[in-house]
Amino acid sequence: MARITRLSGSIDQIDVDFVEREATSRLLMKLSIHLHLAGLSLSNTVPELEKSGVQRSRKAIHDWVQKADLQPVGGKAPNQIVLDETVIRINDQQYWLYAAANPETNELLQIRLYSTATTALTQLFLQELREKHDVENAVFLVDGARHLQTALQRAGLRFQVERGGNRNSIERIFREVKRRTSSFSNYFRHVEPETAENWLQSFPTWWNSLN
């Protein structure tokens, strides 16, 4: 079971308006989603619900997480943005997890999963980030990856190459994401890519609630 510190944070950002008919109270549904995103497996989330006298299957909780369609809150205007990607394995395939974070607040601004890492996909990621947040005056902190630098140049966004320092915030996020995948490594098992990406898209709601 995850440590208590990982189960902290607010559940207020979790929206369960997708519910029409559901015997479980909305509060318990929010709590279940929050616990799973915070680090409990579906198997360990089930008995937490049972403590409140509610019996639901692992699939039911899984479906709540999927249907909640959680996304990072938009409208931010950071001074700096850490941009990076890391490899995530889903069954026997390799994917690239792109992430953008504000190193001053440690908040995740955006996260996306792609089947490869290219300049074109980085540009797509930046376009979506631009639509969600005010990033025109931000300085992007990147490592030596040429496709990241090229995409930023083409987008007309400022960047500087930095290793360590404020870029460490993204490494903490990637470590926590990988801790949460199967067997505490960067490996999702027995899931479709869409399911993995939906969980990854939901993860920032919990992560940002801690900051």
**What pLDDT, in 10s, does the model give residues 150-180?**
999 999 999 999 877 777 878 888 877 776 6
Q: What is the pLDDT of residue 82?
A: 93
Q: Are 112 and 98 in contact (CB under 8 A)?
A: yes
Which residue has better confidence, 87 or 178?
87
Q: What is the 3-class SS of 135-147, one letter each residue? A: CCCCEEEECCCHH
d(CA 84, CA 98): 6
Q: What is the pLDDT of residue 206?
A: 72
Q: Can you tell me the mean pLDDT for 100-122?
A: 91
**Residue 46: pLDDT over 50:** yes
Q: What one-character DSSP code corresponds to residue 182?
A: G
Mean model confidence pLDDT for the chain: 78
- Of the pLDDT bands very low, low, confident and very high (cuts 50, 70, 90), residue 203 is confident
- Of the pLDDT bands very low, low, confident and very high (cuts 50, 70, 90), residue 183 is very low
Return all residues near 20 (Cβ < 8 A) that are at least 6 apart. none
Q: What is the pLDDT of residue 126?
A: 97
Place of tokens 């479906």: 63
Q: Are 139 and 80 in contact (CB under 8 A)?
A: yes
Q: What is the pLDDT of residue 23?
A: 57
Q: What is the pLDDT of residue 40?
A: 66
Instruction: Return the CATH fold of 80-201.
Output: Nucleotidyltransferase; domain 5 (3.30.420)
**Residue 12: pLDDT over 70:** no
Domain boundaries, the chain: 4-68, 80-201
Which stretch of 54-58, 75-79, 109-113, 155-159 has the lowest confidence by average pLDDT? 54-58
- What's the gap between Cα 33 and its chain centre? 14
**Residue 186: pLDDT over 50:** no
